[in-house]
Amino acid sequence: MIFNDDIKAVLNSMHEGILIVDSDSRIVFGNEAYLRFISSDSNIHPSQVRGKKLRDLRPGAMLPEVVRTGVPMLRQRRREAEDFYYVNMYPVFSGNQIIGGLSVVTFMDDAAAFREELKAMEERNSQVMSRMGAFSARDTFSNIIAKGKKSAACKASAMRLAETEFPILMTSENGAGMSMYAQAIHNASPRHEGPYIKVNCQEMKDGIDTELFGVEGIRNSIGNIGLLEAAKGGTLFIDEITDMPPDVQAKLYNTLQTKSFYRIGADYLIPLETRVIVGSNTDIERRVADNRFNAELYYLFRTFSFNIPALRERMDDLPLIVRQELARLGTVRKKKFDITNDAIDRLMHHTWPGNVRELQHVIELSSYLAKDGMITVDILPEYIGQDISENEKTLPERVRAFEKNEILKMMEFYGSDLQAKKLIAEKLGISLASLYAKLK
């Protein structure tokens, strides 16, 4: 076997140990990694290895058997003294004749590091895939009630934008229905058969960079895909965009401008094949003016944006939303629910600081108290319909309103089931009973 200097340089650059023997199992070549390995277990200097019979140096060597039989041995776990290593062994043919053998040794430190890297990548990819499965776009525009002038104009704008490929910015107060609109846009778009994924920047503030762009794999081509890549052919909804760190805002702007991005640690571009929708429930223009949000990113979105009106601005929709929620609860709990006109009138006289989400919570709570499924005025929470001017409220009344609104905001984020309420109570440093009391 003949090796030129270029081939030797390539083999010597490898971390793995490379050993090549001839048909008599005499050592023809060992790269630097292998020679260090073999000399550490013998008194032979690396310069004296070439031409030696392999089994004279390593009596338990299996490569001669591979040369004899012509059958490779793969993924063999071997041990020398206290050291473990993995080895693949192959016969070398010239035509039909065996002319030698090749051994590739992966040392335990390298193998352990690789396993850790692979495990981390598998966990990351599993998280991405589970996130993909955790969200599905169930809502469509037919689910969105828009009888009032403002809500009808909002819905019309959203439906027009759904037909395009433009990135979209939605603004609204908490609980106004932003997630429903994002799902409806996805389902009405040409990408409706692709994945729909949602990520909240407030929830992932410290890890949103890797969450979005992914991390390039080490020593292999698997890589950790991010959500921009996982949502390929579909839609990625990025909520609470103003909580995204400034450096990530800049990266997202470049991604949308160039329609490509880098995984973290990679030196090659990945084409952007995902439609991006972002949402904000803060005064994003004020944040831009205060240099707390990337102006270029905002201006990119501003052309393709719309505002979802608060419930108090679309009270004509309230009775229909209530009926929709009662129908949903009836399907879930297999029971018929209804509401009196007086109860509807009381609901119409509330200002709904928590918007549609607050209304849904009120209807759900009242449905559990309703005799024979009929919601009446007397079972609605006491505060409903008793709103007064903010200037006329006493300090305790203002405190109660603030506390309730903060709890409703957290319920919008964490959910409204029992476990979510326990978590919210824990974060607020109050008991679950106190939380229920503050919601009344």
Which amino acid is present at 6?
A: D
At residue 82, the pLDDT reads 54
What end-to-end distance do the CA atoms of the chain give, in Å? Answer: 86
For residues 27 and 21, is the Cβ–Cβ distance under 8 A? Answer: yes
Opening angle at CA 330, ends 324 and 335, nearest 5: 150
From first to last of the 440 residues of the chain, give the pLDDT tens digit: 566 777 778 788 887 888 899 999 999 888 888 887 776 655 667 677 888 888 888 887 889 999 998 888 887 776 665 556 778 899 988 888 899 999 888 776 654 454 554 455 455 555 555 554 445 678 999 999 999 899 999 999 999 999 999 999 999 999 999 999 999 999 999 999 999 999 999 887 678 998 899 887 644 444 578 899 989 999 999 999 999 999 999 999 999 999 999 998 888 899 999 999 999 999 899 999 999 999 999 999 999 999 999 999 999 999 999 999 999 999 999 999 999 999 999 999 999 999 999 999 999 999 999 989 999 999 999 888 765 445 556 777 777 878 888 888 888 778 877 888 888 988 898 988 888 888 87
d(C-alpha 177, C-alpha 158), whole Å = 13
Q: What is the pLDDT of residue 124?
A: 53
Instruction: List domains and CATH numbers for the chain.
Output: 5-111 (3.30.450.20), 135-309 (3.40.50.300), 313-439 (1.10.8.60)
* Beta carbons of 380 and 362 less than 8 angstroms apart: yes
Beta-carbon contacts of residue 117 (< 8 Å; ≥ 6 apart): 217, 218, 219, 220
User: Can you tell me the distance from the alpha carbon of 440 to that of 422, in angstroms, rounded to the nearest whole number?
Assistant: 17
Please report which helix (H) or strand (E) contains residue 85, including its range. Answer: strand 83-94
| CA torsion through residues 186, 190, 196, 200, sign | negative
pTM of the complete model: 0.61
CB atoms inside a 10 Å sphere around CB 283: 13
Instruction: Give 91's contacts (C-beta < 8 A, 6+ positions apart).
Output: 66, 67, 69, 70, 71, 72, 98, 100, 101, 102
Structure tokens that stand for 307 in this block: 């505002």
Question: How high is the pLDDT of residue 258?
Answer: 96
* Contact partners, residue 187, CB within 8 Å, separation at least 6: 137, 139, 140, 141
β partners of residue 198: 237
**DSSP 8-state code for residue 343:** H
pLDDT at 222: 42
Cβ–Cβ < 8 Å for 203, 415: no
Contact in structure between 39 and 66 (CB atoms under 8 Å): no
Q: Residue 383 and residue 360: Cα distance in Å, rounded?
A: 15
